[in-house]
Structure 1
Amino acid sequence: MTKLSIKPWVLASGMLFSTSFGFAQDNLVNSLKNNQSANSTSGFKFTEVLNLENTPVQNQGSSGTCWSYSTNSFIESEMLRMGKEPVALSQLFTARNAYVEKGKNYVRMHGAVTLGDGGALHDVINMYKKYGAVPQTNYTGLNYGTKLNKTAEMGAITTGILEAVVKNPNGTLTPNWEKAYTSVLDSYLGAVPEKFDYKGKTYTPQTFAKQVVGINPDDYVELSSFMEHPYYSKFTLLVPDNWSFDQVYNVKLNEVTDIIDNALKTGYSVAWATDVSEKSFSYKNGVAYVPAKPFEEMNASEKEAMFSEPKPEMEITETLRQQAFDNYQTTDDHGMHIVGLAKDQNGKEYYIVKNSWGVTNDYKGYLYVTKNYVKYKTTAILLNKAGIPSTINKKLGL
């Protein structure tokens, strides 16, 4: 296989998914750091097969905005693929717009829908289509003195406002609740610029999206795999962060990795929503796999050596995947960006995955994730439909 290794672009950018249950990145990272091995980099020897162009790793801070960071990173790679100069896009511009739509939905649903920072991969495409895009330098989302995102206080206040609106103490809603709600967002994140300058030209968010970013939102599709739904049809992905009730295409288990492989080999990266709560996912070590022996059955020495070298993996079946989802063992708690393919010293293939927790782990913010882990723990993938194999595209009617 042809080896393709391309260095990430270096962008000058401003300061820089979310979990379904709203815990912040710093708490998640701290919990994952309990599962680490000092000799992982000496025990794993990775060789790149291909590494698509991607922009620098960023840091979502103490916020549940991984869905926005991962999918905006994906859009930046799409710009590179199209031969455009990439722009560090504002993740908080996307998030703010999603919070506005989520607030409206929460009120319409009488409070019976998820709030919080969480979101889905498709939210970024939906917000891009409706609101456009803004460079990060023009909208950092840091309007309250911090160097990184820290959204818990904002979330508590906006939740209180929306809960009060749903109680409807006046008996009839007024339009003022929307003004009160968005004013809090503006206080913490900053008011969205109606116009801004970029490289000597003036744009609105909509004209910037069309003239500079240049992607077509209709080119992107979201897929998953669950045996309880008919294959090659669409279904509503029932995870808490799918607050907009978007539908995804259903494909067979092995086709998830077939699609990712085809996409990467034809130059298309993939946005990835998954579960990172497994003990076999280690941010520090930069490795994720599915051990053949469940963690609960391991002895102390086996647990200590989990990341000392490549280990045998469990066989993943449709039934196992479905059961893990139904039992809440697989939850939609993080979004990342698949940018390449590598092999370990034994020839096993891993996806190269770009994270949004800064560059503090063993691989400077990237991870190596086995195909079995992706089959087992993926909740959804999003990509350009041109990256899907033609045989699957036909089955989906794309």
Structure 2
Amino acid sequence: MKTMKMINLLLAVVFIAFNATAQDSLQKSNEEKYRFTVTHDNPATPVKSQSKSGTCWSFAATSFVESELIRLGAGETDLSEMYFVNLAYRDKADRYIRYHGQSNYGPGGQAHDVMNVIRKHGFVTEKEYPGLLAGEESHNHSELHAVLKGFLEAVLSSKSGKLSQVWKNAYGAILDTYLGPLPIQENNTDKKNARLDKKSGFNPDDYVELTSYLHHPFYTWINLEIPDNWTYDLYYNIPLEELMAVMTGALENGFTVCWDGDVSDKGFSHANSVAILPEKDTASLDASLKEKWEKLSEKDKMAELYKFEKPGKEKAISPEMRQDAFDSHLATDDHLMHFTGIALDQNGTRYFITKNSWGANSNKTGGYLNISESYARMNTIAIMIHKDALPDFLKKKIANK
């Protein structure tokens, strides 16, 4: 009997200790995880996947236009991304040939490419033009782009002494073979699809692209030196603080933002649903922990900073740091996405709620991620917003240029 009492006592002690450890672990886990409070959440259409295509520019800008249609009272519309891709590819080829193969010809692009197509040809729905051949469920443009580029090189290398009169028709036939024929004949596009623009209240001329770099004067229109700006469209250059204020103000006032930026940074983790620029808060460490941190190798420090386990201190990004990243090609126009709202982590740090185009099943948050303000300060290349989202002083400056 005495032995049984001892066993029961030991089991009770073990249970209490185990339970306390489990509670501590759970509390620690809850403390470490990112916990976000959404402060502003603007309407957006469902997440799509660009799959194996370099068409993030079309997916991001199309998503942005769809949100604008909702904001303008036209309701939710599922627009065709591949309609914009097909028609932009035609303009890109024409420019490539005119420049004797010396202009950029790649699958990438910018938000204004979608607006340029809408301006000339309007838009159509996904149902009208899915851009997929029968039986296909996802986009894969690796062969398409190689065939298109090879065709153009053959046109340029022709030894006949002049360009063929039918190369554009042949080029268009390749596009229509891979993406499907356009829903209406191209020469009728202006008449039919422009009506959809007027009915919706959408006007591509109501939108402006902004950037912020020191090698150009502020409050001027600039030709931003990024390869995917193959049309040489102009961006309005403003100070970094104003650019950040414009993004935040737009999202707080019911607008969304089409974002172009760098996602090659170590702090970008779509899988973990965050993009961050962490910095060790050594000031808050006691002497022994600070000493341990300083003894770590650079590799171990990076591994510690980029665990993506909990929010921490973020780097303070100056315009000069941002400029250096751009000049050294550390920050390039990798990817376009769609900012739809604002969230705060448990430390009060602001993040931009970001709709990606890698599919709803690409991470645990339905294809969305949260981009920290510091990350955006460093890695934003340019944005597109509605002119009404601009503060009055900036709207006046742009109108006077």
Smaller-chain TM-score range?
Answer: 0.7 to 0.9
Match 1:246 to one of 213, 220, 233: 233
Letter in 1 for 2:216: H
Larger radius of gyration: 2
Q: Which amino acid aligns with 2:322?
A: R
Once the two structures are TM-superposed, the CA of residue 306 in structure 1 deviates from its matched residue by: 2.7
The aligned counterpart of 1:132 is 122
Q: Could you report, residue by residue, the CA deviation over 1:156-189 in whole angstroms, capped at 9, with x for unpaired residues?
A: 1000011112223211012211111111000000
Q: Does residue 138 of structure 2 align to residue 121 of structure 1?
A: no
Residues in 1 aligned to 2:358 and 2:365: alpha-carbon distance in whole angstroms: 12
Deviation at 1:395, TM superposition (A): 2.7
CA contact (8 A) 1:133 1:208 kept: no
Work out the CA distance in 2 between the residues paired with 1:281 and 1:210. 36
Match of 2:252 among 265, 268, 272: 265
The 2-side partners of 1:78 and 1:217 are apart by 11
Could you tell me how far 1:251 is from its partner in structure 2? 0.6
State the SS of the aligned residue for 2:248. helix
Match of 2:272 among 285, 292, 295: 285
The residue correspondences of 1:1-398 to structure 2 (distance < 5 A) are 43-143=33-133, 145-194=135-184, 205-292=192-279, 297-299=298-300, 302-303=303-304, 305-359=306-360, 360-397=362-399
Aligned AA (2:354): V
In structure 1, what residue type is equivalent to 2:337? Answer: M
Which residues of structure 1 form unaligned runs of 5+?
1-38, 196-201
Q: CA contact under 8 A between 1:144 and 1:188: conserved in structure 2? A: no
- Match of 2:127, SS state, is helix
Distance 1:304 1:376, change over 3 A: closer
RMSD over equivalenced CA pairs, Å: 2.2
2:8 alignment partner in structure 1: none
* Residue 204 (structure 1) shift: 6.1
Give TM-score scaled by structure 1 length: 0.84
Q: 2: CA distance between counterparts of 1:53 and 1:392?
A: 25
Calculate percent identity across the aligned residue pairs: 40
Q: CA deviation at 1:216?
A: 0.8
Q: CA deviation at 1:385?
A: 0.6
Shift of 1:369: 0.6
Higher helix share: 2
Cα offsets for 1:124-173 (capped at 9, x unmatched): 11111011100001100002632100011111100001111222321101
Q: State the distance in 1 between where 2:181 and 2:131 align.
A: 9
The corresponding residue for 1:27 is none
**For the residues of structure 2 that align with 1:227 and 1:318, how far apart are their CA atoms?**
7
- Determine if contact 2:121/2:194 at 8 Å carries over to the other structure: no
Q: 2:259 aligns to what SS in structure 1? A: strand
Report how many aligned residue pairs link the two structures: 353
How far is 1:303 from its partner? 4.1
Give a deviation string over 1:248-304, Cα, whole Å, max 9, x none: 0001011111001111122110100011001100000110011226xx934168347
Unaligned 5+ runs, structure 2: 1-28, 281-296
Q: Which moved more, 1:101-110 or 1:164-173?
A: 164-173
Per the alignment, in what secondary structure is the counterpart of residue 136 of structure 1? coil
- Deviation, 1:83, is 1.6
2:278 and 2:306 in contact (8 A); partners too:
no
Q: Distance in 2 between matches of 1:173 and 1:383?
A: 40
Q: 1:96 to 1:170 in 2, by over 3 A?
A: same
Secondary structure at the counterpart of residue 231 of structure 2: coil
